[in-house]
Amino acid sequence: MTDRPLDGRIAVVTGASRGIGFVLAREIARAGAHVVAVARTVGGLEELDDEVRAFGGTTTLVPLDLTDYEAIDRLGAALYERHGRLDVLIGNAGILGPISPLGHVAPKDWDKVMAINVTANWRLIRSLDPLLRRSDAGRAVFLSSGAAHRVRAYWGPYAISKAALETMVETWARESEITPIKANCLNPGPLRTAMRAQAVPGEDAETLDRPSVLVPSVMRLLSPSLEISGRVFDHPTGEWIA
């Protein structure tokens, strides 16, 4: 049982076709959960399914653009019809947006960052909260960033969106205090991902850890024994920072 701590659980993972989301979806499946893998890229989802099937795990692949908010509602309805509950939600999908002075950010770029990093996660909460309440230990983890706390010039849209995400998750956690839901954010720190390469193009990727180092931290946050909610877990230090 210790090798499969999520045995029998139903888990939704967004941004599951690559990077952190891919690794977390695969390892959550390895821990025994049936993973509902959500992403836009069908090829990446199919690669995930191949890897999960290779060790005997199971997935449901959901090609979905998270700015299609009505599709998120349909996902909630489909999960209710098929499973009747949800045990795990990993809100991983996000975009960096422009690194630019705030006054130079195009409105369409601002709107896209907020749509994916904030509004899509709110729609997930709105649609999946009733299902998580039906679990005996609903657990939600949203990927945030140290940028939400270390304010720097030119990182406005991304940092602001992650600060908003953290406030939103804390609000939901407080509203869910008498339910089985525990909802937290996770700061992964600098990892070898496509987003990191986009943000810091001159950095030597070989100096960075791979996303797989996050797995123990995530499993801790998904544990049915977890009592903490509405906080931010800082993976690099192993401490709760907010």
Please report, to the nearest 10 degrees, the dihedral formed by the alpha carbons of residues 176, 178, 181, 187 taken in order.
Answer: 60
Among 69, 80, 154, 158, the one annotated catalytic = 158
Residues 24, 214 contacting (CB under 8 angstroms)? yes
Closest CA to 148 of 139, 157, 140: 157
Closest CA to 181 of 69, 85, 92, 116: 85
Active site residue 154: no
Report d(CA 94, CA 7) in Å as an integer. Answer: 28
Which residues are the active-site residues? Answer: 158
